[in-house]
Structure 1
Amino acid sequence: MKRALIIRHVPYEGVAGYRAPIEAAGYEISRIDVADPLFGSVDLREPDLLIMMGGPMGVYEQDRHPWIPCQLRRLAQRLAADRPTLGVCLGAQMIAAALGSEVYAGPSHEIGFHPIALNDNGVASPLRHVDDVPVLHWHGDTFTLPDGVELLGSSTAYPHQAFRRGTNLLALQFHAEMGEDPRFDAWINGAPDTLSTAGICANALRAAHDLHGPSAVAAGRRMIEEWLSALPD
């Protein structure tokens, strides 16, 4: 059986809705947290599929999180070998950094459910499944676009929402995996200052989650299913 490894940067940001299509594609899923003492010894080139999820830290906060440069070095080796890799939010920013791009704090927090504006490359990619679908955004950082990748979509606030390189690399700034996971309450409860700064009402965000979450996750699963189907055996 093919092996998929999920890197979890905080306990409440897991693979969520993407688990079903990954398992349906024949992968045996394992997970490791960056806080695990064994994380530094994991060869990130080995898994057939690597999935890196989100987290509240910034790629540039390496003094506070010494595992970040360690992860970036090993991730760069995997990307150089063109091994199948998916990055979500912080995971996407890690991919950009490992490819030589700058990751930095953006002008504002982007939090809430709204669609991605796909370009022509995006419409011709698995992201077509999330076209016009409100999906969750929750970030305040962004990145310069790496060399040799295709930009797939943007939002009003941030031009770099998704990119790919060939069939094996997909980086998503947004969270189409979230919408049915009860851990969403942990996101809200853990970020009162962030929500206040962004002018976001927690109850309104919960209501948007209830309204848009199921359709966002359904679209996200179709997106990941199509992406996985194009990976080499």
Structure 2
Amino acid sequence: MHAHYLQHVSFEGLGSIETWLRDAGYEITNTRFYEAGVLPSIADIDLLVIMGGPMSVNDEIQYPWMDKEKKFIKEVIQSGKPTLGICLGAQLIAASMGGDVFPNSVKEIGWFPVQATKTDSTTFFQFPKEIPVFHWHGETFNLPEGAVSIAESKGCKNQAFQIGDSVIGLQFHLETTPGSAQAIVKHCRDELVDGAYIQREEEILATPQEQYKAINKLMGKILEYLHTRKG
């Protein structure tokens, strides 16, 4: 089995996803768009993971590789391969499939709860009724045609969505570990300004280990869900 991930900046890697993939027996490769940006053959991968980043999906002039990335994501989804997008990755899925990405009314940075929107569904991935998760985003999106909301929050309506049974987009970060939280704070602390849904650096980094373990466990459940749909 071969999992491939698309990485946009050096400080937003797989986090807890890497441990899950290795334990499940996946070979892992990546495309680092901040370096060479070479994409694999779609036929050679079984699972695609699209990571986050501080840029916008609308920054194609500044990041010319983004148009190529969107086309690749769309082709992977149309091929039926399981696909997971995280934060910018979810926005890239939405944009690739025809949705619009635009600034949210507020930025969400830190630990805030999301709520399940499909609590009685057996068709879609089932989120807990409510769980605190790690956020770092200022944009949102319209759901593309065929997508179904599976989680929301008070600060941002479209927090998670699913397309068919093999594509999931998460506006938030379930892969976050204490180390990856420290890394994003280090590189993006200029965004930690006063806001209704923006925590202080000390609050973010004081999060107990149990909270990281809870989101990493949920990330594992999503990966298991997609793994069983790899065909």
Give the RMSD, CA atoms, in angstroms.
2.0
Structure 1 segment 93-132 matched on structure 2, within 5 A: 93-120=91-118, 124=122, 125-128=124-127, 130-132=128-130
Alignment of structure 1 residues 77-226 onto 2, 5 Å: 77-120=75-118, 124=122, 125-128=124-127, 130-178=128-176, 180-198=177-195, 199-208=198-207, 210=209, 212-226=211-225
Matched, 1:36 2:35: yes
Q: Contact (CA 8 Å) 1:17, 1:217: kept in 2 or not?
A: yes
Kept in 2, the 8 Å contact 1:22–1:225? The answer is: no
Q: Give the aligned partner of residue 58 of structure 2.
A: 60
How has the CA–CA distance of structure 1 residues 131 and 24 changed in structure 2, closer, same or farther, with 3 Å as cutoff?
Answer: farther
Residue aligned with 2:206, SS:
helix
> d(CA) in 1 for partners of 2:151 and 2:199?
24
Could you say what secondary structure the match of 1:126 adopts? coil
The answer to whether residue 15 in structure 2 is matched with residue 16 in structure 1 is yes
Aligned residue identity for 2:156: Y
Change (3 A) 1:187 1:160: same
Tell which deviates more after alignment, 48-57 or 108-117: 108-117
Between the aligned partners of 1:47 and 1:181, the Cα distance in structure 2 is 29
- The structure where helix makes up a greater share of residues is 1
SS of 1:115's partner is strand
Deviation at residue 14 of structure 1 after TM alignment: 1.0
Q: CA deviation at 1:123?
A: 5.4
Question: How many angstroms does 1:126 deviate by?
Answer: 3.2
- Residue 211 of structure 1 deviates from its aligned partner by 5.7
Name the structure 2 match of 1:70. Answer: 68
Partner Cα distance (2:119, 2:56) in 1: 28
Give the Cα separation in 2 of the matches to 1:162 and 1:41. Answer: 26
CA distance in 2, matches of 1:186, 1:100: 32
Structure 2 CA distance for aligned equivalents of residues 78 and 45 of structure 1: 9
CA distance, structure 1, for counterparts of residue 186 and residue 99 of structure 2: 32
Between the aligned partners of 1:183 and 1:143, the Cα distance in structure 2 is 25
Inter-CA distance 94–150: structure 2 relative to 1 (3 Å threshold): same
Return 198-207 or 144-153, whichever deviates more.
198-207
Contact 1:40 1:70 in 2 (8 A): no
Shift of 1:122: 7.8
Please say if residues 162 and 173 of structure 1, whose CA atoms lie closer than 8 Å, have aligned partners that are also in contact: yes
CA distance in 1, matches of 2:86, 2:29: 17
TM-score (norm 2): 0.90
Give the TM-score, by structure 1 length.
0.89
Unpaired runs of 5+ residues, structure 2, are none
Which range moves more in the overlay, 199-208 or 113-122?
Answer: 113-122
Give the percent of matched residue pairs that are identical in Structure 1 and Structure 2.
29
**2:228 counterpart of 1:229:** yes
Deviation at 1:21, TM superposition (A): 2.6
Offset at 1:131? 3.8
